[in-house]
Amino acid sequence: MTSLVQFGFLLQLGLVAALLIKRLWRKFPYFSFYAVVSLLHTTSYYVLRQHRGAYFYTYWILESITVLLGLAVVYEIFQHLLAAQPALHKLAKRVFQVAAIALLAAGTTVVYLQWPSGAKSLSSGVFVVEEASRVIEIGLLVFLFLFSSIFGLHWRRYEFGIALGLGIFVAVQLAVVTMNARVGLTVVQTLSFIRIISYSSSLLIWLGYILVPESVAVQAEVPKRAQLEQWNRAMMELINQ
């Protein structure tokens, strides 16, 4: 387990270095900040693990910041995705807002229904709040992928890699956090192991999409504007007939 954490730490260092060297922090400020805070998160584990109280508070403060940054990263990707689609901006922003409000309501419902009572209410309550936040985060990521599928939006390399890595980690984290409060100690250790594996996988995905050059796209002829106008007219006829 320790060697896995160390491997993850090295990958995190690599990610921050790659973002700095490729100057991607200019293009993806929230994601870069997310990567730095995640690195601090792991560093705090090494520095503070002997001091349980300090580590507890540091852990949850940094965890809260990464959850908020995760949401900011989703919005950042959403904006990049729509940069080339002026015709979709207004509609997409409205749909995104509706999705965010619906997911906020879903998150609030989760907190309301899952809120624990009794002696362990504080630590369990923190898990429930994280569970609700992850529901919102994963919901927004799923929305992003579905919306782009429906409208045929083109994902560029970096955006796709960031969204995919974040999505895999958040999905696993959601399942882990949800089960954490309801299972025994042995299972909790297994879940921690799964969480570390998933985060390392996400780090590898991010590094892969940032460092490996994109393969040359298939060269195909782009139709002339007149051809597009013909399709446009045909679709109009179908809609209006």
Partner 1 sequence: MIVTMIVIVLALSAMGIFYTQVRSRRNAALQAVRPVDLQAFRTLMDRDDEAFLRGNVSSSRFRRLKRQRVGVMLRYVSRIAGNASAVVRLSESARLSSDPDVAEAAAQVINLATQIRMQCLLAFGKLSLEFVVPSLQLTPAILVPRYQALRENVRLLGTLQTQQLTPNAEAI
Q: Which of 131, 136, 158, 209 binds partner 1 (CB under 8 A)?
A: 131
* Least Å from the CB of residue 134 to partner 1: 8
The reply on whether position 235 binds partner 1 by CB under 8 A is yes
Q: Which stretch binds partner 1 (CB under 8 A): 33-41, 44-52, 105-113, 189-197?
A: 105-113
Rg, the chain, Cα only: 21
- The DSSP line for the chain is -HHHHHHHHHHHHHHHHHHHHTTHHHH-HHHHHHHHHHHHHHHHHHHHTT-HHHHHHHHHHHHHHHHHHHHHHHHHHHHHHHTT-GGGHHHHHHHHHHHHHHHHHHHHHHHHHH---STTHHHHHHHHHHHHHHHHHHHHHHHHHHHHHHTTPPPPHHHHHHHHHHHHHHHHHHHHHHHHTTS-HHHHHHHHHHHHHHHHHHHHHHHHHHHSPPPPPPP-PPPPHHHHHHHHHHHHHHHH-
Q: Which of 47, 101, 105, 228 binds partner 1 (CB under 8 A)?
A: 228
Which of 64/201 has CB closer to partner 1?
201
Q: Which of 18, 126, 171, 188 binds partner 1 (CB under 8 A)?
A: 171
The reply on whether position 135 binds partner 1 by CB under 8 A is yes
Q: Which of 119, 122, 185, 217 binds partner 1 (CB under 8 A)?
A: 217
Positions in 9-28 near partner 1 (CB under 8 A): none
Q: How many residues does the chain have?
A: 241
The reply on whether position 184 binds partner 1 by CB under 8 A is no
The reply on whether position 222 binds partner 1 by CB under 8 A is yes
Which of 113/185 has CB closer to partner 1?
113
* Least Å from the CB of residue 77 to partner 1: 13
Specify the residue for token string 């960031």: 162
Binding mask 140-159 for partner 1 (x = CB under 8 A): -xx--xx--xxxxxxxx---
Which of 2/240 has CB closer to partner 1?
240
The reply on whether position 174 binds partner 1 by CB under 8 A is yes
The reply on whether position 93 binds partner 1 by CB under 8 A is no
